[in-house]
Structure 1
C-alpha cells in the first residue's frame, strides 16, 4: 500500500477500524504500518479508545512515538490527555517487562516534546502540524559524555515552566521514570523558565539527573541569592551547550543582605566554571557583572559559537576591553551587542575581534551601540573580510550619509549576505525624533544609485531610531 497514492483511503480505513475497537486491536499484528499514524491520532483525539491506544503502543512499528506534539493540538483537554498518557504508559510497562517484544514493535523512543510534526504530517498530510521545528523525526541519542547505561527505552521531555501549570505533569513523568530505573532513561535536553518563582522549579530539579540538559533559558525576576541557588543546579548540567538569560531581572533591594548578594554572585560565577561544553551564551541587563565581566569570560572552557549581550550599558571600559580580547571568542559564528554603549570606547578592540572572527562570523548585530562615523570607519576593513556573513544589522546608530555609503561599498563583496539593516542617516532627522520624509526619499534614491553602480542586486533596510524600517 502506498501512502503517496492513497491518503484518503488510509483515513477512511482508520475511521472504519475505529468503529470496532476489539476488531482493530485483533488486527494490529497484520495491519500495514501506514495505517498506524491515522488510527493512533483518531483514537487519541476521541478520548474513548484507551485500550486501542495501549495495544497500538505495544505494537508500534516505528522507532519513535512523537506523542508530545499531539498534546499541543486541540482538542487537548486535560482529561483526554491524562487518559491517553495512561494508556501509553500502561503499554510501556508491559513492553519493559517483556523479555521478547512482539514482531511488530520497533519502539525505542517516546518523545513527549513539542517535536515530531513532520512525522505526523508525512503520514497524515495535515497542514495543521506546522507548530514545531522542521526536519524529520530522528532517534536522538543522549550525549556520549553522559554517565548512564544504555536503556531499552528513552523518554524525551522538555521542562517548560511558564504560566501554564505543568508541574504535576512533569512530576508524574519523573516519578514514573524513577520507579523504572534501569529499564528506561528519562532525558530532558531543554529547560525554560519564564516568570515563575524558583520554588516551583526547584522541586522538579531536585528529582532529576541534570547531565542531559543542553539548553537553558531563564526569563524571571529573581534576587541575587536566588540566582546563586539556581547556579548550583546549573553547575550540575555538565553537558550544557546553550545558556540564555535574555530577560532576567536581578533584584537588589535596599534591605537586601549584602553578604547574601555577594555569595549569590560568587556562586553564579563559580558554577560557570563547570560548564565545559558551553557554546552559546545570551545575556541581558546583568548589572551585577559590571566590573566582573572578565571573570565571567575566564569561566569559558571552550570557544563560543554565539555570544549575545543586550542592554548592558553599565559595563565598564575595562569590561568591554576584556570582552573584545577574550581568546574564547575567536571562533564566533554569531555576535550580537544590541544596546551596548560603545560611544566613548575606542574602536580598536572591536576591530581586532572582527579581524579574528572574519573566517567564521555569520551573524553580526551592532544595533543601538551609540556608534558614530569614526568608529564605523575603523572597522570597515575588518568587516569587508567577513565573507561568511549572512545577517548584518547596525541600525539605531548615529551615521552620516557618507558613512552609510561607505558601509554599502565595503559590504558589496560579501556574497552570503541575506539581511542588511542600516540606520537612517542623521541628515534625515528634523529633530532627534522626527524624520523628514522628503530628505529620506532623496537619500534613498542616492543609495539606490550606488547599489546600481556596484552591480549586485541587494535588499537594504534603513531603520529609524524608533524601529520603523524602510526597505529598498
Structure 2
C-alpha cells in the first residue's frame, strides 16, 4: 500500500521554495528519497514493479538512470506504464554512460522477444530525441503541476488472476503492434557511434517488430555504401527534415535520389555543395539531374526548399521547379549560378505563389534585367514575410525598379540586401516606399556608396555614422522610430561584417588598425 500524502507534500514544496530563495540547496523530495531507498536493493525494486503505482515510475526511472542501476532500468522499460518513454530528454539532462543506454535498449529488445507481453506494458514509442517532451520528467516527479496528456497512462485495470485450463491449446501467436524508436540522425564519417550501432543491430534483428523512425536526418561526409546500409533500417516515410551537405558530385547525389523519393512526409529539404565533375558528358549530366528532380514528384508535403552552392541549376531551374507538386512556403537559392531565363521560370512557377520566405543571397543578378525579380516579388507580395537579396550585385537602377513591387508586400517583416552597391538616395527612396508596410520591423542594408573612402572598399566610419543618423531621423519623421535599420558590410580584407546600429561593431581589421 502506497499512501497519498498531499499535506506533507505541500509543506515540503513550501519548505523547498524557502530554501531556494535563501540560496541554500533544498533537501530531496519524498519521492526522491523513496526511489533511492528502493534502488539500494535492485532485486527488491524489480520485484516491486508489478504493484508500483504509476506515478512513481518516472521518479524511480530517473533515479535508476542517474545512478546506473542497469538491471532495474531494463526491468522498468519492460514494465513501462505509459505509451511513450521520452528517454532522450532524460539523456540530455544526465549525460548517460554507454552501459546505461545499452541497458535501456536491452530492456526493449528483451520485451520484444517475449511471446506474452507484461500486463502493465503500454509502451508504443521510445523517444530518443533530446528536444522532445522536455517537461515530462518534471511533471511526473511533482516538480511541476498539471498532467502531461500525451503521455498519460491508461486507466488502471483490476488485476485478474489467470487460470490455466487443463488441455487447453495455445492459440496462434498474436501479432503485436511494432514499437517505434524516434531519433534524430546525423550521419558523418569517422568512428561509428556505439549506441547507434547497437540500436541498428537490434532493429535488424527484430525485423518489423522494432521500427526506427527519424524526423530529422542530416547527411555529411560518409561513404555512400554506409549511408545506404543505415537508411535501409530507417522508416524513410517518417523523415520530415533532410539536410544533405556532403560536397558530393552530381552522380553521387543521383545514387542517393532513390532514398529521397521514399521520404513521402518530407517538409524541409536542404541540398548543399553538389558539383559536377568535369569533364562530364551532357547526356550523363542530364540523366543525373533527372534522377533527382523526378523524386520531387513524390514529395507531396514539401514546404521548405534550400539549394546552396548547387552547380547544376544554371539553365535547369525550370526542370527542378516543375516537379514540385505543392506550394512552397520557403525557397532559398544561395551561392548558385542562374540565368535570366531561370528567374523568369521561377516567377511563373505555380509552387512559389504562396511564398513566405524568399532568399537569393549570393545569386549574381548584375547583368540581368530586373523584370523577372520584380514579377516574382509582385506575385508573392500578398504572403512574403522575409526577403534576402544579400550579395546579388544589384545596383541603383535595378533596385529602384524593384521598389514599387516591394511597397506591395503587406506582410513583409524582414528585408536584407547587404553587399549591394546602393547609394544613399536609393536608401531614402526605399524608406519612402516601405512607409506603408506596418509589419516591416527589420531592414539590414549595405553601407551606402557615399560612406566609402576608396574603390578598395574601405569604410569611413564617420560618414557611415552620419548617414545612419540621417536614416534614423527619417524613420522618426515618418512615425516609425521603432523600426530597426542597421548596416552590415563585409570587410574587403577578412570578409567579416562591420555592423552599425548605432555604434559600429568592427571586424578584426578595423580593431587592429
Question: Shorter-chain TM-score: which interval?
Answer: 0.7 to 0.9
Q: Which residue of 1 aligns with 2:105?
A: 85
CA distance in 2, matches of 1:73, 1:43: 14
Pair 1:326–1:259, CA change in 2 (3 A): closer
CA distance in 2, matches of 1:82, 1:99: 21
Q: Which residue of 2 aligns with 1:469?
A: 499
Q: Which residue of 2 aligns with 1:98?
A: 116
| Secondary structure at 1:263 match in 2 | helix
Q: Which residue of 2 aligns with 1:291?
A: 315
Residues 253 and 274, structure 2, Cα contact 8 Å, conserved in 1: no
CA distance in 1, matches of 2:256, 2:149: 33
Residues 418 and 446, structure 2, Cα contact 8 Å, conserved in 1: yes
Shift of the alpha carbon at 1:284?
1.0
Higher Rg = 2
| Secondary structure at 2:307 match in 1 | strand
| Secondary structure at 2:392 match in 1 | coil
Q: Which residue of 2 aligns with 1:417?
A: 440
Q: Which residue of 2 aligns with 1:133?
A: none
Q: Normalised by the size of structure 2, how large is the TM-score?
A: 0.78
Q: Which residue of 1 aligns with 2:335?
A: 311
CA distance in 1, matches of 2:66, 2:416: 45
The structure 2 residue matched to 1:244, chosen from 270, 274, 296, is: 270
| Secondary structure at 2:445 match in 1 | strand
Shift of the alpha carbon at 1:430?
0.8
Pair 1:16–1:381, CA change in 2 (3 A): farther
Residue deviations 1:359-415 (CA, integer Å, cap 9, x gap): 222221111111122222222232223232232211111111122122223334333
CA distance in 1, matches of 2:56, 2:474: 59
Q: Which residue of 2 aligns with 1:24?
A: 45
Q: Which residue of 2 aligns with 1:215?
A: 241
Pair 1:204–1:40, CA change in 2 (3 A): same
Residues 151 and 185, structure 1, Cα contact 8 Å, conserved in 2: no
Shift of the alpha carbon at 1:338?
0.6
How do 1:69-468 and structure 2 match up within 5 A? 69-72=89-92, 75-91=95-111, 93-94=113-114, 97-98=115-116, 101-102=119-120, 105-116=121-132, 117-120=134-137, 122=139, 151=177, 153-163=179-189, 165-166=191-192, 169-170=195-196, 172-177=198-203, 179-181=205-207, 183-245=209-271, 247-254=272-279, 260-312=284-336, 314-431=337-454, 432-456=456-480, 457-466=482-491, 467-468=497-498
CA distance in 2, matches of 1:442, 1:57: 66
Shift of the alpha carbon at 1:123?
5.2
Residue deviations 1:342-373 (CA, integer Å, cap 9, x gap): 12222222222222222222221111111122
| Secondary structure at 1:200 match in 2 | helix
The size of the alignment, in residue pairs, is: 446
CA distance in 1, matches of 2:83, 2:218: 27
CA distance in 2, matches of 1:227, 1:392: 33
Residue deviations 1:44-91 (CA, integer Å, cap 9, x gap): 2333x1221123223334332112344455644433332332234334
CA distance in 1, matches of 2:425, 2:54: 65
Residues 89 and 131, structure 2, Cα contact 8 Å, conserved in 1: yes
Shift of the alpha carbon at 1:24?
3.0
Pair 1:403–1:31, CA change in 2 (3 A): farther
Residues 189 and 223, structure 2, Cα contact 8 Å, conserved in 1: no
Residues 213 and 234, structure 2, Cα contact 8 Å, conserved in 1: no
Q: Normalised by the size of structure 1, how large is the TM-score?
A: 0.84
The structure 2 residue matched to 1:37, chosen from 55, 58, 65, is: 58
Two-structure CA RMSD over aligned residues (Å): 3.0
Pair 1:62–1:405, CA change in 2 (3 A): farther
Shift of the alpha carbon at 1:189?
2.5
- Structure 2's unaligned 5+ residue stretches are 17-27, 152-174, 492-496, 503-513
